[in-house]
Chain A
Amino acid sequence: MPLLPAERLTRAASRPDAETPLLLVASDRGRQIIRAANQAALAQGLTPGLALADARAAVPDVAVAPFDPDGDAACLDWLARGATRWSPLVRPCPPHGLLIDITGCAHLFGGEASLVADAVTRLARLGFTVQPALAATPAAAMALARFGGVRVDDLPLAALSELESVQQALRRAGLRRVGEVARLPRSAIASRFGEALVAALDQLLQATPEPLNPLLPAAPVAAQRRFAQPVASHEAVRAGLQKLLLAVQVKLTALGQGGRRFALALYRADGHVAEVAVETAAPQRDVAVLLRLFDERIAALNDPLDPGFGYDLMRLAVPDTAPLAEAQLGLDGGALAETQLTALVDRLSARLGRGRLQRLARADSHIPEQASFLAALGEPAADWPRPDPGEPPARPIRLFDPPQPIEVLAEVPDGPPRRFRWRARVHDVTAHEGPERIAAQWWRRKDGAGLTRDYWRVEDGEGRRYWLFRHGLYERETAAPRWYIHGLFA
């Protein structure tokens, strides 16, 4: 799509005046240089590289807009997602190309030629000029699209190398076409023009396979439905989704697998693609369960699905699968409880997002706020130390992270707290236990420093219990140790 930057703006502004020359300019050392233009501008000789002032002198009536490569890349990405309707293997090729690997896909559209025609029509409807090309390798397809032609051999030398010096050297050797270069022995090319040229030649001629590195990884299991008439109603979409889930279930059952992630792509007739995905805690292939998860996910979407003029293609992919044996109900009910809990986790994740479900995890650290942290529920559970019987709790049930500074009155600077002020209230300490000394992690610090904490378990006159600490040993580490409250006991 050689005119993508200009056509994108025309489309975004929905301005039908393709007749007005449109120039996209960027500053280059103080001068406004044309970086892209539309068909009308090109027809009048306003080509990229020209200064805007010169262009205005030649054609006074031009529209000017800033050149925005990031916007172009986003637009290309959007088009690439839409292009997954033709093949799952799609890669955007900046600045304005799309590579689609149609191996094994063409027959679904009635052959290669009609697939290309479909692509050109759809993109033209969006307002994009397309130069399509079909070739055996990605590099050859890109070169043919760029330079035109049907045969790789007829391509100009520029398809082989961007460097003017290399092209000139080839021309001096009497070579004008890629085909003529290809007939030479590779060793001779390498010695005269460099290894890079051989690599470029091989990419064009399929001597070396070039992986496509697609936008979306191909899913091991997928199903799709095409609608002759675009569907717009929620019920129709849901019915389509149910059929897709059934198809996927059959495939997964045959493989003995269950999916952990289900991605639904809804292709709108105007090229937009809406994507909705659900994840499950355990491998899953039950249609009713998955349909309910999708319902909840769609209900929880921030921007509701906008069918516009309707979806003409739905695809359900299962990018992540795991072995799933046939279900067997246990007699003890343990399996039943497990199933219920897994289903609950899935429903809550679909509704709130997976990151919202957490469990307390344990880290190997003496620093209290680092020893316990929140981890995703899927993480394996930690073993927690069992407290000594008969002792009162040594750790608070609620922890302040970070600890909150307090003002403390103690009889001696390194003695127990007698009275403290927290949240604008004064608390008299009636009972205390401590200190429990927790050293700083000096082995983690370059200077080996860090302040020791002396923890005290205290109770105030109202019976509330707090966990306080003095930060730093008096006189040995600091002259005026600060006090903090770190937690609340039961």
Chain B
Amino acid sequence: MRVAAAFARPPSRPALLPAGRLPQARLAIDSGRLDAALNGGLALAGCHELYGPAATAFALMLVLASARAGPILWISDGRGEDGRLHGDGISELGGDPARLWLVAAGGVVPMLRAAGEAQACPALAAVVLESHGEARAIDLTVTRRLQLAAAAHGVFTLLLRGGPPRPSAALTRWQAQPAPTRRLAADAPGPPRLALTLARQRGGPADINQLLEWNRDRRRFVAAGQSAGQLVPIGFAPIGLAYARGRPAPPHPGAGVAAAPGRAADQGSVAA
């Protein structure tokens, strides 16, 4: 896990290596069960599929956590029913809305063509494809092409999808649900929490649930259940935790909260 952390946030980068896109760079997510299952973190040179009502938020958080320089190209195939991206809200997540470049492709096929152009440009921080509805055109071949391009150019590619999961060659598939937050003073909702499920992973374990809270100020996830004061940053993880990989996975840090009845209902609604 310390290896993963070193790759995820290279402390010093050689000045003459502008791209800095190591093909094996990985983004540590929870420094826990997810990272262990992902062999150290989410591969940044790859294509990942995100499903679920919190997919937009999860995609933005992942790109912000990856801390890559350059614009985020957000290509959409049309208008969904969930409104438009809101600049102030992205800034409230810790992002700079000016870095977000939006492409209204107006259809799945133009979106995929634009993605082909974008994935050849390593100066982008990430390419996010937002499809609405089932989008049958995004099949095994298309996702394989996206994955190969992402790996070849080291471009972090995220594919937001609706409808039931479809066959795909993406590296991972995620279900992202909003989860009840911890309460602040006067019963106010706290920072965003996501109930994540790593539903599928190519050549790796899957079906892992994790409850994570987004820390905007540090631009990273923290395991839910730890309040901001008890945050355990990755770089200073206790030694004992570093060996957690070899042992059976420890119980879910946020298990108490995750067992809330709302969560099971949530996942039921996605499958529907």
A372 — nearest CB in chain B belongs to which residue? B87
Give chain A residues whose Cβ lies under 8 Å from the Cβ of B57: 397, 489-490
- A433-B186 contact given A360-B102, A400-B83, A464-B53, CB 8 Å threshold: yes
Chain A residues, Cβ within 8 Å of B103: 348, 352, 356-358
> By the criterion CB–CB under 8 Å, are A459 and B181 in contact?
yes
* Nearest-neighbor residue (CB-CB) of B111 within chain A: A352
- Which stretch, A105-113, A142-150, A335-343, touches the partner chain B? A335-343
A384 touches B266 (CB 8 A): no
Name the distance in Å between B78's Cβ and chain A's nearest Cβ. 12
Cα–Cα distance between A368 and B272 once the two chains are bound (Å)? 34
Q: Is A387 an interface residue (CB 8 A)?
A: yes
**Interface residue? A117 (CB, 8 A):** no
- Of A334, A362, A394, A464, the most chain B CB neighbours within 10 A belong to A464
What's the nearest-Cβ distance from chain A to residue B260, in Å?
8
Q: Is the CB of A488 within 8 A of B228?
A: no
- Determine whether B114 belongs to the interface, using a CB cutoff of 8 Å to chain A: yes
**Known contacts A341-B71, A397-B93, A431-B187; is-contact A463 B98 (Cβ 8 Å):** no
Residue B18 CB within 8 A of the other chain: yes
In the bound complex, do residue A463 and residue B262 qualify as a contact, i.e. CB atoms below 8 Å apart? yes
- The reply to whether B88 and A384 contact each other, CB–CB distance below 8 Å, is yes
A475 within 8 A of B: no
Is A465's CB under 8 angstroms from B102's CB? Answer: no
Which of A3-11, A161-169, A374-382 participates in binding chain B? A374-382
Bound complex: CA A348 to CA B260 (Å): 46
The tally of residues in A whose CB lies under 8 Å from a CB in B reads: 62
A490–B118 contact, CB under 8 A? no
Known: A374-B102, A465-B178. A490 touches B262 (CB 8 A): no
Of the stretches B131-139, B156-164, B191-199, the one at the interface is B191-199
Q: Once the chains are docked, how many angstroms separate the CA of A465 from the CA of B124?
A: 30
* CB-based nearest B residue for A400: B83
Evaluate contact between B114 and A384: CB separation under 8 angstroms: no
Contact of A29 with B by CB under 8 A: no
Q: Is the CB of A393 within 8 A of B92?
A: yes
Give CA–CA (A352, B110) in the complex, Å.
8
| A interface residues, Cβ below 8 angstroms from B | 331-334, 336-338, 340-341, 343-344, 347-348, 351-352, 356-362, 368, 371-372, 374, 377, 381-387, 389-390, 392-401, 430-433, 457-459, 461-465, 487-490
Instruction: Please name the 7 residue pairs, one residue from A and one from B, whose CB atoms are nearest each other, closest first.
Output: A333-B18, A490-B57, A381-B98, A433-B188, A393-B92, A397-B89, A337-B123
